[in-house]
Amino acid sequence: MVFDGPYRMLIGGELVAGSATFDVLNPATEEVIAQAPDATPADLDTAVAAARAAFPGWAATPIADRKAKLVALANAVWGNADAFARLLTSEQGKPHSEATGEVMGAGYWLQANTTLDLPETVNEDSDDRISITRHVPLGVVGAIAPWNFPMILAMFKVAPALLAGNTMVLKPSPFTPLTTLRFAELAKDILPAGVLNVVTGGDALGPWMTAHPGFDKISFTGSTQTGRRVMASAAPTLKRVTLELGGNDPAIVLPDVNVEKIAEQLFWAAFTNNGQICIATKRMYIHKDIYEPLRDAIVAYARTVKVGDGAEQGTQIGPINNKPQYERVLGLIEDAREKGYKFLLGGEKADVPGYFVPITILDNPPEDSRIVQEEQFGPVLPLIKFDDLDDVITKANATDYGLGASIWSADEDRAYDLAQRIQSGTVWVNETQHLSPLAAFGGVKQSGVGVEGGLEGLLEYTNAQTLVRKKKPAFA
């Protein structure tokens, strides 16, 4: 398939241009690269009605057939990987190699979910009765995705929701709608009409979805602030929600690591995807015995990293995805400058077109500084010196967030023990950001509600239904 022609929504099996459009920019150049459809409330109503109409048929489709459709979707993604990756770089900004990784991963998420099954639990099988709990689909799911990993995070939702027998209306971020719209074109020829609908639009579309009475569940990935609004808006109709929200992940580096060998890995823990990862390391606590040499090794490595247009050969870090986020990151840098914190690298605004922020590393800012306490979601990392392990665990946990964390040590058992004292949905030892479609992933505290991935994630797209059958009833 060649990715050309106007971008259209997928509603009830038809590609729909919509009555208006909005501009989509390339964040490396700030140039308009495409127009995406701007859905109206009537478009949303039509999409919800189509999903509702398709639900009984899809729910009744044998799970093996639903799995076959997910595998076909995966093959369609993989078969167009290069076109998807180029488009992803142009709308998101990430380097081509990382965009390719995301596209391949999106296909893998679709495929790997098909190894899961919906369990049945026999609660009782006695002379009197048999009681079984099974898992039935919810109905119509509204899925809302962010701009940092637009393709793969959409598939985190599409794969389990459809596998479980639900139908869906999916909304990408207005900053990155294009790859999702091309995916919709492929899905049109694979899925029955109405099973997956894709709508795009501006800031009003998300709230229309969360308030819409036609959804049974909202699956949302985005910021904690928006997550609170989603939950409030879903309350009047008691929609189920899964909320995958922000984080402020600590990395804790113990003094027994090999400083030279670990510096590069720690750098990428924070700066992959330009720091725009919910589970990026956002504050790095380094033991005082190795603080100076490790700090210097991380900065030395950072100086070798190429920042630029993701479409250019050799680029390792692209621009920030969008203007509001660019300004937010610059605001945090400005705050650090005003407070007189020490910059090891960066801290200047790049004087080029595009939303470029130079790699910025701060030397031991205070624990209560904004850059330590807030989620930066950009290429700015505070390095913080620590002395006492109990104290650093307390600091790691002293946040409303609880998404991920990592502990780095040559003594794996010791690190594993420490990991169990961290209050977050995932803790990694000697690596970070490893996710699997077969493992539950989610945030605790204000980093989220519920999980995606694994059997636990799949079951969030179902209602538990218990069937009880009396054996040998007295009247028979």
Catalytic residues: 244, 278
CA atoms of 142 and 461, how far apart (whole Å): 11
Residue type, 436: S
For the packed helices 178-188 and 63-79, what is the interaxial angle rounded to 10 degrees?
130
CB of 57 to ligand NAD, least distance (A): 28
CA atoms of 418 and 390, how far apart (whole Å): 9
User: Within 434-453, which residues bind ligand NAD (CB under 6 A)?
Assistant: 443, 448
CB of 220 to ligand NAD, least distance (A): 6
Which of 69/171 has CB closer to ligand NAD? Answer: 171
CB-closest chain residue to ligand NAD: 206
Determine the interface stretch with ligand NAD among 80-88, 203-211, 347-355, 455-463 (rule: CB under 6 A).
Answer: 203-211
Which of 234/259 has CB closer to ligand NAD? Answer: 234
CB of 170 to ligand NAD, least distance (A): 10
CB of 255 to ligand NAD, least distance (A): 30
Residue 132, judged by CB atoms within 10 A of its CB (0-12, 13-18, 19+), counts as middle
Which of 48/259 has CB closer to ligand NAD? Answer: 48
Cβ neighbour number for residue 41 with a 10 Å cutoff:
12
**Pattern 92-131, ligand NAD, x by CB under 6 A:** ----------------------------------------
User: Within 210-239, which residues bind ligand NAD (CB under 6 A)?
Assistant: 210, 221-223, 226, 229-230
CA atoms of 50 and 138, how far apart (whole Å): 16
Closest residue by Cα to residue 247 from 34, 450, 13, 442: 442
Which of 146/165 has CB closer to ligand NAD? Answer: 146
CB of 14 to ligand NAD, least distance (A): 23
CB of 443 to ligand NAD, least distance (A): 5
Place of tokens 């949905």: 425
**Pattern 243-272, ligand NAD, x by CB under 6 A:** -xxxx-------------------------
Q: Is residue 206 close enough to count as binding ligand NAD by CB under 6 A? A: yes
Number of residues that bind ligand NAD (CB under 6 A): 28
Helix (H) or strand (E) holding 184: helix 178-188
Q: Please name the residues in contact with 350: beta carbons below 8 A apart, sequence gap of 6 or more.
A: 307, 356, 357, 358
CB of 237 to ligand NAD, least distance (A): 14
Which of 46/433 has CB closer to ligand NAD? Answer: 433
User: Within 400-429, which residues bind ligand NAD (CB under 6 A)?
Assistant: 403
CB of 355 to ligand NAD, least distance (A): 13
Residue 85, judged by CB atoms within 10 A of its CB (0-12, 13-18, 19+), counts as buried
Alpha-carbon dihedral 255, 261, 263, 268, rounded to 10 degrees: -120
Determine the interface stretch with ligand NAD among 62-70, 75-83, 98-106, 168-176 (rule: CB under 6 A).
Answer: 168-176
Q: Is residue 207 close enough to count as binding ligand NAD by CB under 6 A? A: yes
CA atoms of 424 and 456, how far apart (whole Å): 17
Cross-sheet strand order for the sheet of 426-429: 342-345, 360-363, 380-386, 281-287, 249-253, 404-408, 426-429
Q: Is residue 41 close enough to count as binding ligand NAD by CB under 6 A? A: no
Helix (H) or strand (E) holding 240: strand 240-244
- What is the SS3 assignment for 431? coil
User: Within 304-343, which residues bind ligand NAD (CB under 6 A)?
Assistant: none
| Binding-site member from 55, 183, 291, 377 for ligand NAD (CB under 6 A) | 377
User: Within 347-366, which residues bind ligand NAD (CB under 6 A)?
Assistant: none
| Binding-site member from 114, 148, 376, 433 for ligand NAD (CB under 6 A) | 148
Question: Is the CB of residue 451 less than 8 Å from the CB of residue 441?
Answer: yes
Going by the DSSP 8-state scheme, the letter that residue 261 receives in this structure is H
DSSP 321-366: SSHHHHHHHHHHHHHHHHHTPEEEE--SPP-SSSS----EEEES--
Residues near ligand NAD, by CB under 6 A:
144-148, 153, 171, 173-174, 206-207, 210, 221-223, 226, 229-230, 244-247, 278, 375, 377, 403, 443, 448
